[in-house]
Amino acid sequence: MIRPAVEADVPELLAMIHELAEFENLSELVVCTEDDLARSLFDAQAVVHDTVVEVENGSLAGHALWFRSFSTFLGQTGIWLEDLYVRPEHRRQGYGGALLRDLRGRTHGRVEWEVLDWNAQAVDFFQEIGARPMSGWTRYRWNQP
């Protein structure tokens, strides 16, 4: 079942964030705590959202963490997908596609995300659903000191 995350999901969501970081060889970069995640998702000023896949036993098979973006060219909001993660034992069951279709239904704009070049399984999946890589753009990041 696809549903919005609730505060009780925070420990499992953080566990999936750690699982994704481990897969991406970026575990050392995760400093987010349960309190950080709960505040970001559920405070009155929260602008981050998480949509989850809950399976029969009540556990979470995957999630999509996202927030609104805006395109001045389109003149409408879109969605930036920060994390899409389906646990390995639940892959190839349609959950990733269901999460993306849910996001696509939330906007008339575009849904955008990044994927690591070496993640061939994800690249293949995204191309199978009709998503295409952007060329001619370089992503910049400016971190706080």
For 97-119, what is the mean pLDDT?
Answer: 93
Give residue 87's pLDDT. Answer: 97
pLDDT exceeds 80 at position 145:
no
* Ramachandran quadrant class, 33 (left: phi over 0; alpha: psi -120 to 50; beta: rest): beta
**Residue 59 domain flag:** yes
Give residue 112's pLDDT. Answer: 94
Domain containing 80 equals 2-114
Could you read off the pLDDT of 11-21 as tens digits, one per residue?
999 999 999 99
Could you read off the pLDDT of 71-97 as tens digits, one per residue?
999 999 999 999 999 999 999 999 999
For 107-124, what is the mean pLDDT?
Answer: 91
Give residue 139's pLDDT. Answer: 82
> SS3 string of 34-90?
HHHHHHHHHCCCCCEEEEEEECCCCCEEEEEEEEEEEECCCCEEEEEEEEEEECHHH
**Residue 105 domain flag:** yes
Q: What is the CATH number of the domain that holds 90?
A: 3.40.630.30
For 20-48, what is the mean pLDDT?
Answer: 96
**Residue 140 domain flag:** no
**What is the model's pTM?**
0.91
**Residue 62 domain flag:** yes
**How many domains is the chain built from?**
1
Summary mean pLDDT of the chain: 94
**Residue 122 domain flag:** no
Q: Express as a percent the part of the chain with pLDDT over 90.
A: 77
**Residue 130 domain flag:** no
